[in-house]
Homo-oligomer: A and B are copies of this chain.
Amino acid sequence: MFESAELGHKLDKKTYAKEAAALRADLLDMQYDVKMASRFSVVVLINGVEGAGKGETANLLNAWMDPRHIETHAFPAPSDEELERPPMWRFWRAMPPRGKIGIFVGNWYTDPIVARVSGRIKNAALTVAIDDILRFEKMLTDEGVLVLKFWFHLSKKAQEKRLKSLEKDPKTRWRVTKRDWKLFEDYDHYVDVSEHVLRETSTGAAPWTVVDGTDENYRTISVTRHLLDTVRARLKQKEDKRKKASIAPFERSLDGRDLINTLDLKQALSKKKYETELEKLEARLNLLARDPRFKSQSLIAVFEGNDAAGKGGSIRRITGSLDARWYDIVPVAAPTEEERAHTYLWRFWRNLPRHGRINIFDRSWYGRVLVERVEGFCSEADWMRAYSEINDFENQLHRNGTIVVKFWLAISAEEQLKRFKEREKTRFKRFKITPEDWRNRDKWDAYEMAVCDMVDRTSTEIAPWTLVEANDKYFARIKVMKTLCDRLEAGLK
């Protein structure tokens, strides 16, 4: 993989000067086209061996283009706020919005490679890490992010020479650290592991570009030209004419039975029984939330359900037993301008709880496979891939010690009609009912099938769905509280 990069490519000064002048103008032009179009963001990953020009290239890109529309990130030791979220959180928060270029010097490749070289992880864990990266980058490119990956290579001999010459010059001495020499000792191992990772992660949508770092002129021109050409090609691409979803993908089972229509919605609880149970569960939940083990974990409760199924009421029963300082409720409505400028899951990533805290999502990332699917707000390809993206997301939460509890609150069409009519009559509930709610009823069957699909595809052992029979509010609330307590208790480590 690094053979060509060890040929010792060079570019003479004159050719360089000529190329550079033209490229700089073109890059600025391109950058403003990206900004004006604001159709996609550009993520530039910079990796490679030490001394091969990683930092210099980041600086150069900032110097040649307008640095006001470039965000350059390095990722030194994570802050405590970062340590309390899944490892990818720090990268999510650094993602550039559409129209901008983000340069990541050090990124999601750094830790797996370094960990493998140092022996901190074995091959199996590396394979898992590679899988995670592949799925993450696929998500990025599927969402329209242009991902460019540069690997800066140096032969062992060239690296030694480079480090020594950097050390000699008082101006650049600070760039060479003890860690760099330690890494140099591991050169062969480092290159082996890297080659493996590069091979496994060079995909059609986000291939690696290996750069010969020996000659600065050659390196500079090859990187900038590749960046320019790739972005230009992308700018020329016509916008995806996103196809509207049809109802076609919904297929009833042969006998017409599904997860939802086989629920026994008649289940009910007496008021007295409800009150006794609720009090017990409230005490239990309060106790669990104060469990010392929970201080290094967190809890996410997701509420989805038919309109008027009682999500708000169930949430209030949960919060009723918690101290208001322990939780946040995240109502999920239309995304804001900033959220729309990022990939779909960004707005959920930005709302992850810190350790010891509980975030309750009133509607959630499942919007894409529910309302967006049924209403045709996204293409079939989009909602189809959302299932696995969501599973990845929840898996990352799980590995981070976050307990994810998901509820679908189901009511019958008749019960919903009754509630809608009640709402229209009650002063402080009127706001809860909109013309859209009435329209959604026309698509009852489509929603039902979308829900069944969703449950089939995203109910995992780490984050299972709980279907809640919600025609009777008492029954529903107790089932929610009990499930939440059970899952929280089981999830404490």
Residues of A within 8 A of B (CB): 25, 28-29, 32, 35-36, 55, 58-59, 61-63, 66-74, 79-81, 103, 105, 171, 174, 283, 286, 290, 312, 315-316, 319-320, 322-325, 327-329, 331, 336-338, 362, 427-428, 431
| B73 lies within 8 A of A325 (CB) | yes
Contact of A324 among B59, B79, B283 (CB under 8 A): B59
A79 CB contacts on chain B under 8 angstroms: 79-81
State the CA gap A340–B174 with chains docked (Å). 43
**A149 smallest CB distance to B (angstroms):** 18
| A428 lies within 8 A of B28 (CB) | yes
Contact of A105 among B103, B316, B319, B324 (CB under 8 A): B324
State the CA gap A367–B290 with chains docked (Å). 47
| B55 lies within 8 A of A323 (CB) | yes
| A68 lies within 8 A of B324 (CB) | no
State the CA gap A224–B72 with chains docked (Å). 48
Q: Name the residue of chain B whose CB is nearest to the CB of A290.
A: B174
Q: A81-B79, A336-B337, A337-B336 are in contact. Are A67 and B431 (CB under 8 A)?
A: no
A73 CB contacts on chain B under 8 angstroms: 325
**A176 smallest CB distance to B (angstroms):** 13
| B59 lies within 8 A of A323 (CB) | yes
Q: Name the residue of chain B whose CB is nearest to the CB of A26.
A: B428
A32 CB contacts on chain B under 8 angstroms: 428, 431
- A35, A66, A283, A337 interface centre (most CB from chain B within 10 Å): A66
A171 CB contacts on chain B under 8 angstroms: 283, 286
> What 5 A-B pairs have minimum CB-CB distances, sorted nearest first?
A74-B325, A72-B324, A28-B428, A337-B337, A58-B324
A283 CB contacts on chain B under 8 angstroms: 171
State the CA gap A59–B428 with chains docked (Å). 20
State the CA gap A61–B32 with chains docked (Å). 49
Beyond the given A72-B325, A79-B79, A79-B80, could you list 4 further A-B residue pairs with CB under 8 A, ordered by the A residue number?
A58-B323, A59-B323, A171-B283, A336-B338
Contact of A427 among B25, B55, B319, B336 (CB under 8 A): B25
A286 CB contacts on chain B under 8 angstroms: 171
- A36, A290, A338 interface centre (most CB from chain B within 10 Å): A338
| A362 lies within 8 A of B427 (CB) | no
A62 CB contacts on chain B under 8 angstroms: 319, 324
Q: A325-B55, A325-B74 are in contact. Are A315 and B67 (CB under 8 A)?
A: yes
State the CA gap A174–B283 with chains docked (Å). 13
| A320 lies within 8 A of B63 (CB) | yes
**18 examples of A-B residue contacts, CB within 8 angstroms:** A32-B431, A36-B431, A58-B324, A58-B325, A59-B323, A59-B324, A62-B324, A63-B319, A63-B320, A67-B316, A70-B329, A71-B328, A72-B324, A72-B325, A72-B327, A73-B325, A81-B81, A337-B338
A35 CB contacts on chain B under 8 angstroms: 431
A36 CB contacts on chain B under 8 angstroms: 431
| B431 lies within 8 A of A319 (CB) | no
| A25 lies within 8 A of B67 (CB) | no
A316 CB contacts on chain B under 8 angstroms: 63, 67
Q: A174-B290, A319-B62, A337-B337 are in contact. Are A312 and B68 (CB under 8 A)?
A: yes
- A35, A80, A324 interface centre (most CB from chain B within 10 Å): A324
State the CA gap A336–B331 with chains docked (Å). 20
Contact of A80 among B59, B80, B103, B327 (CB under 8 A): B80
**A156 smallest CB distance to B (angstroms):** 26
| A427 lies within 8 A of B80 (CB) | no
**A220 smallest CB distance to B (angstroms):** 14
State the CA gap A96–B440 with chains docked (Å). 31
| B103 lies within 8 A of A324 (CB) | yes
State the CA gap A70–B362 with chains docked (Å). 13
A325 CB contacts on chain B under 8 angstroms: 55, 58, 72-74, 105
State the CA gap A174–B292 with chains docked (Å). 12
State the CA gap A128–B433 with chains docked (Å). 50
Q: Name the residue of chain B whose CB is nearest to the CB of A63.
A: B320
A61 CB contacts on chain B under 8 angstroms: 324
**A105 smallest CB distance to B (angstroms):** 6
State the CA gap A52–B158 with chains docked (Å). 71
